[in-house]
C-alpha cells in the first residue's frame, strides 16, 4: 500500500514535557486511519506533528505530497467569540493557496460554496460562528479543512459529543473524500468509528503499541477500554441535546 506519510523514530512534545518518544508509523494514502489509545497517549500531539504545527525534536517525518495538510482541532480549541461568519471561516481554508495579499477568485468562491453545501451549512453562510450549535460549528470547521483541497486531512475527535445528524453528515463526507483519494487521519474513542477505518494506530504512553487493520489492532482488551472512553466522549453537551437557536447541529 502506498504511504502518504512515514514517521521514523520521532520524538516530540512541548516545553519541558516530552510526549512522543521513538515513534515510528505509516499513514497510508487514499485510506482512513483511526488513531486510538487512552487519554494522554499522545494522539493530539501526533496530529500536530503530522500537520507541522508541533516540531519533531528527533527522528524524521516524510510527507509524500507537496500540499500542506488540513487540520481540524477539537471543538474546545476553537473560540466561540470569533467575530466571523460561516462563509468567512470556510474561506480561511483558501488562504494557504492565495498568499498574504491574494484575493478570492471565482474558482475559490466556488470551492467555498461547494464545501459549505457538502457539510450542509450553506444556509448558515451569513451567520456568526458563535451563534451556531456545537454540531454546526464542527461541520463548518470540516468544511474549512475541505476548502484547503489537501491530500492529508487530520481530525481530532471530529464527531465526539455531537448530535446524530452532525455525526452522520461528517462521517459521510469523510467516507466520500477517502474514496476520492484523500488520506484521512482521525483521533477517536469510538470503537465503531475505529473499526470502520482502513488502518489503525494504537498509542500508549507516547509510543506506538500496534498498527495495522482495525480487526487486528483492536483486540478485546483494547475495545473494552475504548468503550469506556467512548461513553464519556460521545455524551452530547446540554446545548447539543437541546439544539441551539436556529436548528440542530
- State pTM to two decimals: 0.86
The residues near 206 (Cβ < 8 Å, ≥ 6 apart) are 18, 19, 20, 21, 23, 41, 42, 45
pLDDT, tens digit, 9 for 90 and up, residues 129-170: 889 988 999 999 999 999 999 999 999 999 888 888 889 999
Tell me which residues of the chain have a pLDDT lower than 70.
Answer: 75-81, 99-101, 220-249
Q: What is the pLDDT of residue 130?
A: 86
Q: What is the pLDDT of residue 163?
A: 86
Q: What is the pLDDT of residue 228?
A: 57
Burial group, residue 113, by CB count within 10 angstroms (0-12, 13-18, 19+): middle
Nearest to 143 by CA among 193, 76, 93: 93
Q: What is the pLDDT of residue 246?
A: 36
Amino acid at each position: 500500500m502506498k504511504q502518504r506519510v512515514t514517521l521514523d523514530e520521532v520524538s516530540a512534545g512541548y516545553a519541558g514535557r516530552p510526549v512522543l518518544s521513538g515513534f515510528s508509523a505509516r499513514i497510508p494514502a487514499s485510506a482512513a486511519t483511526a488513531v486510538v489509545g487512552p487519554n494522554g497517549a499522545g494522539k493530539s500531539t501526533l496530529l500536530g506533528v503530522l500537520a507541522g504545527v508541533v516540531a519533531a525534536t528527533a527522528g524524521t517525518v516524510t510527507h509524500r505530497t507537496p500540499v500542506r495538510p488540513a487540520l481540524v482541532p477539537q471543538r474546545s480549541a476553537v473560540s466561540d467569540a470569533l467575530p466571523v461568519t460561516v462563509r468567512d471561516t470556510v474561506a480561511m481554508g483558501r488562504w494557504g493557496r492565495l498568499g498574504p495579499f491574494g484575493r478570492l477568485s471565482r474558482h475559490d468562491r466556488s470551492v467555498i460554496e461547494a464545501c459549505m453545501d457538502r457539510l450542509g451549512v450553506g444556509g448558515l453562510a451569513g451567520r456568526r460562528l458563535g451563534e451556531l450549535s456545537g454540531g454546526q460549528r464542527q461541520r463548518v470547521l470540516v468544511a474549512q479543512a475541505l476548502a484547503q483541497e489537501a491530500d492529508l486531512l487530520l481530525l481530532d475527535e471530529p464527531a465526539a459529543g455531537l448530535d446524530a445528524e452532525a455525526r452522520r453528515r461528517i462521517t459521510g463526507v469523510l467516507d466520500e473524500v477517502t474514496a476520492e483519494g484523500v488520506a484521512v487521519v482521525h483521533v477517536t474513542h469510538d470503537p465503531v468509528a475505529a473499526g470502520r477505518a482502513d488502518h489503525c494506530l494504537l498509542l500508549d504512553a507516547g509510543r506506538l503499541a500496534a498498527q495495522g487493520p482495525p480487526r487486528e489492532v483492536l483486540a478485546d482488551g483494547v475495545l473494552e477500554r475504548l468503550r469506556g472512553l467512548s461513553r464519556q466522549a460521545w455524551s452530547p453537551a446540554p446545548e447539543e441535546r437541546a439544539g441551539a437557536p436556529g436548528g440542530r447541529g
